[in-house]
Amino acid sequence: MVPYDGGMPIRPAVPADLDTIIELIHGLAEYEREPDAVRLDRDSMREHLFGPRPYAEVLMAETVGGESAGFALFFHNYSTWEGKPGIYLEDLFVRPEFRGQGLGKALLAGIAALAVERKCGRFEWAVLDWNQPSIDFYVALGAVPMDEWTTYRVAGEALTALAAMRAG
């Protein structure tokens, strides 16, 4: 565990944290105004985070008393131009009652430390355009918006149709 100035520890998640992670994901969905968008399967999530080939990692933040305060879920990507791995932050969420205490910064600093330790070339994430408090927070930490890039996504039926083109 790594304590930060507020006294709350930041630590890697363990399988016993699964239900808390899922609860925090639902909290994030509420915050992002998408409460009905979470469709995850608990068993798949367990396999993806803690199985033999984890697809993502999670850092947990807790109070000194052990109460869950927030989480950050991230995974590795790769930059061909840098010739190095990177880390992509998928989710960062701090429960409302713990905001403003440096916890988000501690979670980001924890991932940044892993990125440096793992010799990553960069640490990236996306933020919703309307989320000005988070944007201001990230810019204050030295993050730079990648405004010239547009994210594209293929999901659901479009993903299935694209995959079917391989056979045809």
What residues act catalytically? 138
Contact 71, 24 (CB under 8 A): yes
How many Cα atoms within 13 Å fall on the side-chain side of residue 66?
1
Roughly what angle, to the nearest 10 degrees, separates helices 42-50 and 18-31? 110
Count of helix runs (H) and strand runs (E) in the chain: 5, 6
